[in-house]
Amino acid sequence: MHESVLLRRQTTPALDLGSYLASGGLAGLKKAREIGAAETVRIVTESGLVGRGGAGFPTGRKWDSVRTASDPERYFVLNADESEPGTFKDRVMIDVDPFLVLEGVLIGSFAISATRAYIYVRGEYRREADLLQRCAKELEAAGYLEGLGPEGRALEIEIRHGGGAYICGEETALFRSIEGYRGEPMSKPPFPTVAGLFRKPTAINNVETVANVPDIVTRGASWLRSLGTERSPGIKLYSVSGNVERPGVYELPFGTPLRELLELAGAHDLQAILLGGAAGTFVFPQDFDMPLSYEAAQERHATLGSGALIAFDHETNLWRVAERLGSFFAHESCGQCVPCRVGTRRQHEMLEALADGHGRGSERDLLARLGQVMTDASICGLGQTASTAVRSLLDAEAKGLLAV
Amino acid sequence: MADTFQILIDGHEAIAHEGETILDVLRRQQVETPTLCTHEHLTPAKACRACVVELMGSRALVASCERKAEPGMDVRTDSERVQNARRGVFELLLSQNDVSTAPALAAQAESLGADPGRYRGQRYEKGFFDDNQLYVRDYDKCILCYRCVEACGPDVQNTFALTVAGRGFDAGIAAGFGGALPDSACVFCGNCVAVCPTGALMDRREHNLRAEGRWQEDRYDVVQTTCSYCGVGCQLELHVDRESNEIVKVTSPMDHSITHGFLCVKGRYGYSFVEAGTD
């Protein structure tokens, strides 16, 4: 049985600085100050920690390129704009251990010598934003922000609220939003580490990612590598919902079989799951023995994404599910580029026809064709992945895996 | 030269200059590349995706109008992926827009073999706005290329009357806070009209003549002159109907060193005095 790390304070959340310190908090920050920024980044790099928001980019490499950038003005951004359908692990993470998240932010900001740290919280997460704000104030009042900024200055933390757009979870659109512009993604390159927020070198990390950092710094890189698989070291939070008895957030080491997670959540006799959120893929019982790791998912053309898992029983019409996903993407497309703006609308119209059972017969071919155009030609990850689930459903249907 | 380097285009070596985009190189190499939103004097909006190319080593296709050439790049324009994506972009636009005044778009769609009936569904119905004396806005024809927004904003006019409002399929160009043009910050320079690639923005006289069935391009001569209003010396192109001797439109050459194609309200629209006193 895996012993909780990220969720270790789940039963008795440390919601004030006193109880956080009493339960061993801020040891990571203390150690980071002792060993210095370069060594901190080295440990994080060596641990093999990769981003938990979905893209899986190595955190240490990100920090190192910002740390060594020539521009003295640089930013740390915490992406708490959790908006992927079926994903709620960052909210729970903040709810049960806000100081652990903030400690990760402080260590990250110190490691890259950030001029300022921004925390961008999903608009609907009002309570979490308030909680982080209050905890940040406590840390500031107790002097823990002193000396973390450039040339020994105190770190400034600013909390920003999202306005309800999924696209603002995309890092470059998130920057535009903080800057006060319309939330539209920019092309990469240049990558955020080179020209991010306000076109300055920026490290942007997901909530779950930074929550790993204090323990990595305290316990060393080999600790994280002692968990999980060789190519996916560490632990992952999963948001489980749908036709299960015990929906919620589960913490497991990488490599745990999918079936084990389903059993923990109380899933019986499923038709399929949607793994990785709206931008993920449908996975059918024949693949339920797959280990939950980046490499195993990739082998099956699936993705762990943000760790969202929505379960569907045999009563569910998966084309109706796809239609709801299509509606989501059409609603959340920012409208900047043609393949996504028009493509997500056309995709939704065709999915509606299929789910309602009055298709013209050409929808399946057209959906596959359109999906390729959106994947290849869209500016950002939204359009590039808006057809992923649909195309996995087309494959499954061709193999006769659909119940309804 | 130190600031030139080589890149590969469809397997052939090509010279690129520091700071050039992939599209710049493609054009010099005379590789036909469809474009809609990019404009020589505006920041690339990289929004239409008509000019995408395959950059080996890059997961998604990249917009050649925006991406700077780098030494050693291996670019493909003739791959199935590129052709499929470009055709898809035009098929999606044809499924939503009225392209009756966008001959360049229609021609590019045809040369790519785009099927206008490939996708069906809701048309883009953003309405026709006739709220001022100088130009009309037919947003059913708008492909949201961002050119007007950029020309109105930091690239040319710095007026910021136009912006994009709404999102997804419902996104559209809005003046001010979505109201009428005269109530916005618009100064009626018409530079948005000058860069509109689809005829969604059209000078009133052209619109009226078209509505009456009297717009006849083959009857118009272009007369070069210099604007008589102030001392800047803007070059004007008067489009004159050689039969009626009427001015039907005023533009400025995009390659002119003073205007770069852009004018003010007087130069573009203040020409009726020329005809004063004549019958």
Q: Which residues of A touch B109 (CB under 8 A)?
A: none
Q: Determine whether the interchain pair A187/B66 forms a contact, defined as Cβ–Cβ distance below 8 Å.
A: yes
* Amino acid letter, residue A225: R
- CA closest to B146 among chain A residues: A336
Q: Residue A375 has what pLDDT?
A: 98
Asked if B23 contacts B38 with a C-beta cutoff of 8 angstroms, the reply is: yes
What are the pLDDT digits (tens) for B50-106? 999 999 999 999 999 999 999 999 999 999 999 999 999 999 999 999 999 999 999
Q: Please list every residue in chain A whose beta carbon sits closer than 8 Å to the beta carbon of residue B52.
A: 376-377
Give the containing element (helix H, strand E) for B204. helix B204-211
Give me the pLDDT at residue A199, please. 97
- Say if A384 is an interface residue toward chain B (CB within 8 Å): yes
Instruction: Read off the pLDDT band of B139 (50, 70, 90).
Output: very high
Number of CB atoms found within 10 A of residue B171's CB: 21
So what's the pLDDT on residue B277? 72
Show residues of chain A in contact with B84, CB under 8 Å: 369, 372-373, 376
**pLDDT over 90 at B2, yes or no:** no
Q: Do A187 and B62 touch (CB under 8 A)?
A: yes
What angle is formed at CA B137 by the lines to CA B132 and CA B143, rounded to 5 degrees? 160
What is the residue whose two structure tokens read 């190192």?
Answer: A64
**Angstroms from B76 CA to nearest CA on chain A:** 14
Write down the pLDDT at residue B1: 52
Strand partners, B202: B136
Taking the Cβ of residue A379 and every Cβ of chain B, the question of whether any pair is shorter than 8 Å is answered with: yes
Of A97, A91, A44, the residue nearest A67 (C-alpha): A44
**pLDDT tens by residue, B107-119:** 999 999 999 999 9
Which residues in chain A land under pLDDT 70? none
Q: How do residues B239-266 score in pLDDT, each as one tens digit?
A: 999 999 999 999 999 999 999 999 999 9
Contacts of B35 in chain A (CB under 8 A): none
Can you name the CATH fold of A17-225?
Rossmann fold (3.40.50)
Question: Does the beta-carbon distance from A376 to B61 stay under 8 Å?
Answer: yes
Check CB contact of B117 with chain A, cutoff 8 Å: no
> Pick from B89, B143, B144: which is nearest to A377 by CB?
B89
Kindly report the nearest CA distance between residue A222 and chain B, in angstroms.
32
Q: Give the contacts of B46 (CB within 8 A, at least 6 positions apart).
A: A187, A337, A379, B37, B63, B65, B66
At the second CATH level, the architecture of B146-214 is 2-Layer Sandwich (3.30)
What residues does each domain of chain A span? 17-225, 235-312, 318-398
> B4-43, pLDDT tens digit by residue?
999 999 999 999 999 999 999 999 999 999 999 999 999 9
CATH class of A235-312: alpha beta
* Cβ–Cβ below 8 Å for B169 and A341: yes
Chain B positions in Cβ-Cβ contact with residue A381 (cut-off 8 Å):
none
B62 CB within 8 Å of a chain A CB: yes
Name the residue with tokens 């696209």: A167
Q: Is A349 on the interface with B (CB under 8 A)?
A: yes
What residues contact residue A36 under an 8 Å CB cut-off, 6+ apart?
A: none
Q: In degrees, to the nearest 5, what angle opens at C-alpha A249 toward C-alphas A245 and A254? A: 110
Beta strand extents in chain B (DSSP E only)? 4-9, 12-17, 52-55, 62-63, 74-76, 128-129, 135-138, 162-165, 172-175, 201-203, 220-226, 235-241, 247-251
The reply to whether B116 touches chain A by the CB within 8 Å rule is no
CATH 3.90.79.10 fits B1-123, yes or no: no
Which CATH number is correct for A318-398, 1.20.1440.230, 3.40.190.170, 1.10.472.10, 2.130.10.10? 1.20.1440.230
CA A254 to CA A252: how far, in whole Å?
6
In chain B, what are the domain boundaries? 1-123, 146-214, 216-279
CA atoms within 13 A on the CB side of B57: 4
Residue numbers in B near A384 (CB within 8 A):
60
- Residue B127, pLDDT score: 93
Interchain CB distance below 8 Å, B168 and A341: yes
Could you read off the pLDDT of A2-12 as tens digits, one per residue?
899 999 999 99
Strand order in the sheet with A156-161: A156-161, A116-121, A75-80, A202-206
What is the strand order of the sheet A281-283 is part of? A248-253, A235-242, A308-312, A272-275, A281-283
Q: Is B160 on the interface with A (CB under 8 A)?
A: no
Q: pLDDT of B215-233, one tens digit each?
A: 999 999 999 999 999 999 9
Does A337 sit within 8 Å of B47, measured CB to CB?
yes
Q: Which listed CATH number (3.30.230.10, 1.20.1250.20, 1.20.1260.10, 2.20.25.90) goes with B216-279?
A: 2.20.25.90
Confidence category of residue B278, pLDDT binned at 50, 70, 90: low
Strand spans (E) along A244-379 = 248-253, 272-275, 281-283, 308-312
* Closest chain B residue to A372, measured at CA: B85
Q: Which two tokens stand for residue B173?
A: 């160009």
CB of B58 closer than 8 Å to CB of B104: no
Nearest to B166 among A335, A369, A376 (CB): A335
List, in sequence order, every residue forming a beta bridge with B55; answer none if it has no partner: B75
Amino acid at A60: G
Q: Do B122 and A345 touch (CB under 8 A)?
A: yes
Which among B48, B81, B170 has the least Cβ separation from residue A376?
B81
Confidence (pLDDT) at B275:
83
pLDDT at A127: 97
> Is A333 close to B84, i.e. CB distance below 8 A?
no
For the sheet containing B128-129, what is the strand order? B128-129, B135-138, B201-203
